[in-house]
Amino acid sequence: MKSDNFVGETCKSKQGVFDLRSALVLYAVTDRHWTGEKTLLEQTTDALCGGATMVQIREKELGDAEFEKEALELQNLCKTFNVPFIVNDNVKLAVKIGADGVHVGQDDMNVIEARKLLGEEKIVGVSAQTVEEAILAEKQGADYLGVGAVFPTGSKLDAIEVPHETLKAICSAVKIPVVAIGGITKDNLGELKGTGIAGISVISALYAQKDIKAAAEDLKKRTSEMLTVQA
């Protein structure tokens, strides 16, 4: 997958070839805190039926066995929709189950080590808050960047808010696609127009909604329109 001219636009997986930029339009990140009458698997099914283009499992409180079981369930679901399935932080689990990739933060395993474990054919996403972090991640082999929090968020209590000017500067500084994260809702995502992002990554804007499928449809429509205007 990697070459001197590779800029992160396409990533292979066991299911085929994903256009990464397209896969980042509506990036769903799981959160079991919002499960009620439905299971996380059912909620994610609704998100995918509504048009979610990528799924990341993010679990901070599950034991290893439970995490693996849930990851395998969601991975199989994503295969049926032919969308990339990404594991947050846990590179060893991603390797074990053959996930499409991982997403790591600045305090997690670095890109070079993650790539060694995963192999060249997998997706490696990295969180970045500054232009310097973004450029370094790209040089180390990241396929995409998650930049935020672009709005105040309650999903990550220690999240650092990233000004939209910085988001735009990051998008201009790197060739790999950038997805905006943190506090994004249907009402404020239009403020990201013109920043150069490839899409949005959301948690509560999907999983906290009563009708997740309808929320996904609306978010995808609004994001696609915003991306068309900024292009």
The residues assigned a catalytic role are 58, 127, 156
For residue 137, what are its two tokens? Answer: 């991640």
Q: CA 81, CA 123: separation in Å to the nearest integer?
A: 18
Task: Give the CB-side neighbour count of residue 38, counting CA atoms within 13 A.
Answer: 17
Q: Degrees (nearest 5) of the Cα angle 118, 156, 139?
A: 40
Q: CA 203, CA 136: separation in Å to the nearest integer?
A: 27
Task: Give the CB-side neighbour count of residue 202, counting CA atoms within 13 A.
Answer: 28
E-strand ranges in 115-190 read 123-128, 144-147, 178-181
Q: How many CB atoms lie within 10 A of CB 47?
A: 27
